Every structure is written in C-alpha cells, then in structure tokens.
Structure 1
C-alpha cells in the first residue's frame, strides 16, 4: 500500500461512489483511502487522509465542487484533483482549473479513459478529456491547433510560455514566482503581456488556448 497512490472519491450519488471506489481499488497502482458524498466532508477527509489523488464531482450538497477544490488545494497542496462530472460548459471547465483542478473528465467517458487521465495527472500533467473538449468547442474529430493560434504561440517569449503553462495548471502568482525565482508582481506583468498578445481577457480563455495548442493535454493516446 505504501507504493500505491492514495485516492479519495467524492461523489454524492451512492451507487456511483461505491462503484467507482471499487473499480479504482482493483487497479494495481491505486488504493482508496476514503469516500465523501459532499464538499464539506471531502475537505475534512482530505485533511485527515492526505490523498495523492482526488476524483471530484462538481454538483454536491454542502457547497460546490469548485469551493471544495479550492479549499483542498490550500490545505492539502500536494493532492492532485480530477473533476469527474456531467457538466462540460465553457465556464465549468475554466472555473475548475481556476479553482485548482488538474484534470477534467465527463462521466460518460469509458473507465479506461479515466484511468489514463489518472496516470497523466499523477505524472504532473494537466488534462482535459477529449469528450469534454469536443462538447465545449463543438469539434468533431480534429484537434490540431489552427494557424492563427500557432502564430500567437510563436509570438510569446519562452518566459511567457512558461508562465502560461503554470497559470493554466492552477498555480497562483506567488507559486509561479517561487518556481521561476521572480516576484509575484513580475509574474503578473508576464501574464498581462501574454494575455495582451493573445487577445485573451480571462483565465477561461487561457485554458481554451492552452488546450488548442497542446499545453493542456487531452485524454487521447496521441497526447502523452
């Protein structure tokens, strides 16, 4: 058990919670350390069990999943969080990453896809399931970055690209500054510059751009 990733399941529907916990417990590299039915309970269990990975529903009693994600990230910063939900609107995806989520999966995805996402996230990647991205963007097959976005990406400096990657992964300006050994004010300046160059006004837009150019991995065999 010491070598396994510790997983907390957060889901308000009993059958889904029990079923998902059972499926994950059957995986060789994972063990279940707890299961919660609501946001408040999830926050308490996360502090108590110190999980490596949390599978988090968004619509729950006792506070939204977004609030729970933000609270857990403050109190258990090492925990990686994958949102597992029926919702895939533009705002939901952006808000989830803004709160600190590391992955986003729609519930009708095959279990094999979720397992792949779990592996990616535990490798330090941020991922969005292909189904969620297609639903949000109205795509039907191709996910190659278009020429316009490719030109915008090439116009960014290496430092701006690094800041973009860290920001869409949910890091605060202070955390990015610590990573790059610069002040939060300098990070904010880089962020403002890159958003100006990209013509993007908010974090949701940055997340969508990052998906389009491959900074945020989609859950697909080609995106590793």
Structure 2
C-alpha cells in the first residue's frame, strides 16, 4: 500500500480505509467469514465528494458560464472514461482485490470497476484527511488545465456537426457501419465507418460503438474541411 500512497501523494492515518477502497464486492462476497466490506459504500460517498469538488472548481474557474454549461463540463470531467484514465495512470488495477470469477474475467482492466475504485479512493482520502486532502488529490488527478482541454474535446458532438454540414445540400444520406471489433470482452475496441450517399468519408476507433462513430464523424469533418 505504501507504493500506492506514494502515487497518490497521500499517506493514510487509517490504512484500513484504503484497503476497503480496493475491495471489490466479488472479493468481499468470497470472504464473508472475514467480515470484509466492499468498496461500494465508499464509491457512493466518493461520487458526491468528486461532484462537489468539481463543481466548486468550475464555479471558480468559469465565473461567467451559465449553469447549463457548468453542468455539461462537470459531467464530462467526472464521466466513467475520465475516471478510468485516472485509474490507468495510477496503475490502480494491480492493487484491487477481486473474486476469482472477476479476476478470471479480466476485472482488473474493466472500465466500470476501475472507475468505481477511483471514486472509492477519493472517499477514503476524504474520510481520512478531510475535504482539503480529498480536494488536493482530485485536483492532482483530474482537474488540471490539460485535463479540462481534453474533456472539452470529448464534449464535442461530431456526429451532429457532420449531420448539419451535409444537410446544407438536398438529398444527402449519412450512415454509420461497424467494420471491425477487436480485443477481449472487457476491453474491446470498435472501428466505425461513416458513409455519405454510400461512399466512405471517414473512419475511427473507440472503446464503445458510440465513441467509434464520433471518431469516424470527426475524421469525416476533417476530410470534408480539406
């Protein structure tokens, strides 16, 4: 745990909190006789702590932005994909305690499990060191300038932009096709192609079909722009 604490740049006074944050429900269920708690309660609390810290950050950083814009930016900042990326940078998967079935199924790389564990760690730090310690960790992990710029990119709806562009001319038909799917079930990569009147105008990849279609639309916009 000292190795993870070093990555977090935080030393726990009560190390049991960090241990609990890493206990997946599958592990707790397999060790009921040990009366272990899973990280689900911490995840619940961590979601609220993360939401508050992020809201305060955006409220201060964007004093002129209306509530709707702040809500959309916050949703993108704290989405599952953003938290998964935090977990990847911390190498959090290697510290998780999983049940045998979850371990065999690739749980250490599953996006939802890693994202939930990040929220649980945020809650553990909050309970151990208070809101200032939790806020400092969330800022280090998530709320830097570069992170927000990445989120702004993610927020763009390329499919809608492409649709609006092609609709400037009559009788234009856009369609999306999944052309490839690779990787294990817990870490699939999808490749999509967007066609205009039956001809390919862009392709892109992502970890979900929606993400792949957005990437394809972005490529198409860049191609049509040229």
Q: Same fold (TM over 0.5)?
A: no
Relative to the length of structure 2, the TM-score reads 0.28
More helix by share: 2
Q: Say which structure, 1 or 2, has more relative contact order (CA 8 Å, 6+ apart).
A: 2
